[in-house]
Amino acid sequence: MIYHGNRFTFRPGVPGEQLDQALESLRNQGRAIPSVRSFVVGRDHGGEFEWGATFVIDDLDGYWEYLVHPSHLHTDRVGLPLVDRFESFDITDDPDPEFGAKVAALHRRRFESDPELTALITGLGSYTGSGAPAPRQG
Protein backbone atom coordinates (compact mmCIF):
# COMPACT_ATOMS: atom_id res chain seq x y z
CA MET A 1 0.00 0.00 0.00
CA ILE A 2 1.24 3.49 -0.88
CA TYR A 3 0.19 6.70 0.81
CA HIS A 4 1.12 9.46 -1.63
CA GLY A 5 1.02 12.87 -0.04
CA ASN A 6 1.33 16.46 -1.16
CA ARG A 7 1.75 19.52 1.04
CA PHE A 8 1.54 22.99 -0.42
CA THR A 9 1.12 26.71 0.15
CA PHE A 10 -0.63 28.97 -2.31
CA ARG A 11 0.93 32.19 -3.58
CA PRO A 12 -0.18 35.31 -1.71
CA GLY A 13 -3.25 36.95 -3.19
CA VAL A 14 -4.75 33.91 -4.93
CA PRO A 15 -8.50 34.64 -5.29
CA GLY A 16 -10.71 32.38 -3.17
CA GLU A 17 -12.58 31.12 -6.23
CA GLN A 18 -9.35 29.86 -7.84
CA LEU A 19 -8.20 28.29 -4.57
CA ASP A 20 -11.55 26.49 -4.24
CA GLN A 21 -11.32 25.29 -7.85
CA ALA A 22 -7.84 23.84 -7.29
CA LEU A 23 -8.86 22.07 -4.08
CA GLU A 24 -11.99 20.65 -5.69
CA SER A 25 -9.88 19.40 -8.59
CA LEU A 26 -7.71 17.52 -6.07
CA ARG A 27 -10.83 15.98 -4.52
CA ASN A 28 -12.03 15.00 -7.98
CA GLN A 29 -8.78 13.07 -8.50
CA GLY A 30 -9.68 10.94 -5.51
CA ARG A 31 -13.13 10.25 -6.90
CA ALA A 32 -12.17 9.78 -10.57
CA ILE A 33 -8.93 7.79 -10.58
CA PRO A 34 -9.73 4.07 -10.33
CA SER A 35 -6.49 3.16 -8.53
CA VAL A 36 -7.15 5.58 -5.65
CA ARG A 37 -8.57 3.58 -2.73
CA SER A 38 -9.18 6.56 -0.43
CA PHE A 39 -8.09 10.17 -0.13
CA VAL A 40 -8.21 13.30 1.96
CA VAL A 41 -7.77 16.94 0.93
CA GLY A 42 -7.69 19.66 3.56
CA ARG A 43 -5.81 22.05 5.80
CA ASP A 44 -2.32 21.07 6.91
CA HIS A 45 -1.88 21.64 10.64
CA GLY A 46 1.39 21.64 12.53
CA GLY A 47 3.82 22.29 9.71
CA GLU A 48 5.11 24.89 7.29
CA PHE A 49 2.37 24.30 4.71
CA GLU A 50 -1.25 25.47 4.47
CA TRP A 51 -2.88 22.57 2.61
CA GLY A 52 -2.35 18.89 1.98
CA ALA A 53 -3.71 15.89 0.13
CA THR A 54 -3.08 12.18 0.56
CA PHE A 55 -4.08 9.46 -1.89
CA VAL A 56 -3.98 5.76 -0.98
CA ILE A 57 -2.91 3.51 -3.87
CA ASP A 58 -2.26 -0.25 -3.95
CA ASP A 59 0.95 -0.48 -5.96
CA LEU A 60 3.30 1.14 -8.47
CA ASP A 61 1.06 0.29 -11.44
CA GLY A 62 -1.75 2.17 -9.72
CA TYR A 63 0.66 5.00 -8.90
CA TRP A 64 1.45 5.39 -12.61
CA GLU A 65 -2.27 5.38 -13.43
CA TYR A 66 -2.72 8.12 -10.81
CA LEU A 67 0.12 10.22 -12.23
CA VAL A 68 -1.11 10.23 -15.84
CA HIS A 69 -4.87 10.23 -15.30
CA PRO A 70 -6.63 13.20 -16.99
CA SER A 71 -8.07 14.41 -13.68
CA HIS A 72 -4.55 14.65 -12.22
CA LEU A 73 -3.33 16.48 -15.30
CA HIS A 74 -6.25 18.90 -14.91
CA THR A 75 -5.26 19.61 -11.30
CA ASP A 76 -1.69 20.30 -12.42
CA ARG A 77 -2.91 22.82 -15.00
CA VAL A 78 -5.32 24.69 -12.71
CA GLY A 79 -3.48 24.29 -9.41
CA LEU A 80 0.27 24.53 -9.95
CA PRO A 81 0.20 28.12 -11.28
CA LEU A 82 -1.34 29.11 -7.92
CA VAL A 83 1.19 27.25 -5.73
CA ASP A 84 4.25 28.79 -4.14
CA ARG A 85 5.79 25.89 -2.19
CA PHE A 86 5.14 22.20 -2.79
CA GLU A 87 6.34 18.98 -1.20
CA SER A 88 5.49 15.41 -2.14
CA PHE A 89 6.13 12.27 -0.11
CA ASP A 90 5.32 8.59 -0.13
CA ILE A 91 4.84 6.21 2.76
CA THR A 92 4.63 2.50 2.01
CA ASP A 93 4.70 -0.90 3.62
CA ASP A 94 6.38 -2.30 0.49
CA PRO A 95 9.66 -3.91 1.65
CA ASP A 96 11.40 -3.38 -1.72
CA PRO A 97 14.62 -1.42 -1.01
CA GLU A 98 14.33 0.05 -4.53
CA PHE A 99 10.85 1.45 -3.94
CA GLY A 100 12.00 5.08 -3.67
CA ALA A 101 14.04 4.84 -6.86
CA LYS A 102 11.06 3.29 -8.67
CA VAL A 103 8.77 6.14 -7.58
CA ALA A 104 11.36 8.70 -8.68
CA ALA A 105 11.60 6.94 -12.06
CA LEU A 106 7.81 7.17 -12.54
CA HIS A 107 7.88 10.90 -11.85
CA ARG A 108 10.91 11.39 -14.11
CA ARG A 109 9.13 9.50 -16.92
CA ARG A 110 6.08 11.72 -16.47
CA PHE A 111 8.09 14.95 -16.58
CA GLU A 112 10.04 13.79 -19.64
CA SER A 113 6.79 13.12 -21.52
CA ASP A 114 5.13 16.44 -20.61
CA PRO A 115 7.15 19.64 -21.22
CA GLU A 116 4.19 21.83 -20.18
CA LEU A 117 4.06 20.11 -16.79
CA THR A 118 7.81 20.45 -16.39
CA ALA A 119 7.51 24.20 -17.05
CA LEU A 120 4.79 24.49 -14.39
CA ILE A 121 6.95 22.61 -11.88
CA THR A 122 10.03 24.72 -12.52
CA GLY A 123 7.90 27.84 -11.94
CA LEU A 124 7.20 26.92 -8.32
CA GLY A 125 8.93 28.81 -5.51
CA SER A 126 10.14 25.44 -4.18
CA TYR A 127 9.40 21.79 -4.85
CA THR A 128 10.88 19.02 -2.74
CA GLY A 129 10.23 15.38 -2.08
CA SER A 130 9.59 12.12 -3.86
CA GLY A 131 8.15 13.65 -7.01
CA ALA A 132 10.56 16.56 -7.40
CA PRO A 133 12.50 16.60 -10.65
CA ALA A 134 16.27 16.38 -10.42
CA PRO A 135 18.05 19.74 -10.64
CA ARG A 136 18.94 20.74 -14.17
CA GLN A 137 22.51 19.99 -15.23
CA GLY A 138 24.63 22.51 -17.07
> Tens digits of per-residue pLDDT, 62-86?
999 999 999 999 999 999 999 999 9
Helix, strand, or coil here: 44?
coil
Average pLDDT on 108-122 reads 91
Tell me the pLDDT tens digit for each residue of 14-57: 999 999 999 999 999 999 999 999 999 999 999 899 999 999 99
pLDDT value at residue 123: 87
51-57 and 126-129 beta bridge pairing: unpaired
What are the residues facing 126 on neighbouring strands?
85
CA–CA separation, 8 and 80 (whole Å): 10
Average pLDDT on 84-111 reads 95
